[in-house]
């Protein structure tokens, strides 16, 4: 069965610092998704990575995908408080199904 | 306009009761899903529907019965509620299978006492 693991599970960082969240998955997939969830809220799509080597950037977030290593990264540059949220990666092992990672709870301290 | 809506937002009920959650999407998507998010924020797929047809049932107890009257609606009925059913239930939709991102509803927080 496909496993999707994220690390770290919890991340507390100072404003202005950089950090990377990792998403490892256990079976082949050429697609990966990143979502953000604010406390008590729904999930919001951040990035869709559709091929090996794909890189997407939005503001202070940049996501990349290495399908050979079965690894995606979400890099945070110069963190600000507004980025505090839980971040999920999700992998489709086949059609009609997505397996979500364990989530990384990010807290950016002023 | 809300893309994916769910009702109710909160549901508090006693063990053994039966309850329903409704979901509607106005995005014209073909595929809809139900997810369960537990207290540790772990998100697990329960069901997938495509064009009103059940495609995926992730070994969910048969106390849970989804119904899709049309492509825009996917409801979830739960019989004989148990304490372990307490969670946040999210409905989602996507346009094409496994190539498009999913759009999530606001969630229904179910508390079973």
Decide if B99 and A31 are in contact by the 8 Å CB cutoff: yes
Decide if A98 and B103 are in contact by the 8 Å CB cutoff: no
Of residues A43, A88, A96, nearest to B31 (C-beta): A96
Q: Is B106 on the interface with A (CB under 8 A)?
A: yes
Residue B17 lies in a domain: yes
CA distance B66 to chain A (A): 16
Distance CA(B24)–CA(B51), nearest Å, equals 14
Given a cut of 70, whether residue A104 has pLDDT beyond it is: yes
Q: What CATH number did the domain enclosing B83 receive? A: 2.60.40.10
Residue B53 lies in a domain: yes
Give me A99's structure tokens: 């397996």
Decide if B55 and A31 are in contact by the 8 Å CB cutoff: no
Q: How confident is the model at residue B5 (pLDDT cuts 50, 70, 90)?
A: very high
Which pLDDT score, from 0 to 100, does residue A29 have? 84
Domain that residue B11 falls in = 4-100
Question: pLDDT tens digit string along A36-78?
Answer: 999 999 999 999 998 888 999 999 999 999 999 999 999 999 9
Residues of B in contact with A45 (CB under 8 A): 101-103
CA distance A40 to chain B (A): 9
Q: What is the DSSP string of B21-88?
A: EEEEE-S--SEEEEEEE-TT--EEEEEEEETTEEEEE-S--TTEEEEEEETTEEEEEE-S--GGG-EE
Every domain of chain A and the residues it spans: 4-109
Decide if B105 and A48 are in contact by the 8 Å CB cutoff: no
> Domain spanning A4-109 has what CATH number?
2.60.40.10
Residue B109 lies in a domain: no
Q: How confident is the model at residue B59 (pLDDT cuts 50, 70, 90)?
A: confident
């Amino acid at each position: 069965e496909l496993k999707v693991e994220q690390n770290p599970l919890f991340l507390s960082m100072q404003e202005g610092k950089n950090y990377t969240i990792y998403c490892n998955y256990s079976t082949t997939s050429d697609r990966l998704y990143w979502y953000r969830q604010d406390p008590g809220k729904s999930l919001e799509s951040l990035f869709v990575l559709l091929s090996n080597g794909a890189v997407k950037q939005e503001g202070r977030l940049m996501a990349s995908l290495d399908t050979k290593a079965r690894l995606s990264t979400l890099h945070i540059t110069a963190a600000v408080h507004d980025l505090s949220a839980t971040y999920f990666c999700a992998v489709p092992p086949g059609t009609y199904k997505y397996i979500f990672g364990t989530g990384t709870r990010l807290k950016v301290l002023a | 306009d809300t893309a994916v809506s769910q009702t109710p937002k909160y549901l508090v009920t006693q063990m053994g009761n039966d309850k329903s959650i409704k979901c509607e999407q106005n995005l014209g998507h073909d595929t809809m899903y139900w997810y369960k998010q537990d207290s540790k924020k772990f998100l697990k797929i329960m069901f997938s529907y495509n064009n009103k047809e059940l495609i995926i049932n992730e070994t969910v107890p048969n106390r849970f019965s989804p119904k899709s009257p049309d492509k825009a609606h996917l409801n979830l009925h739960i019989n004989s509620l148990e304490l372990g059913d307490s969670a946040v239930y999210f409905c989602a939709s996507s346009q094409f299978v496994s190539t498009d991102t999913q759009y999530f509803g606001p969630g229904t927080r179910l508390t079973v006492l």
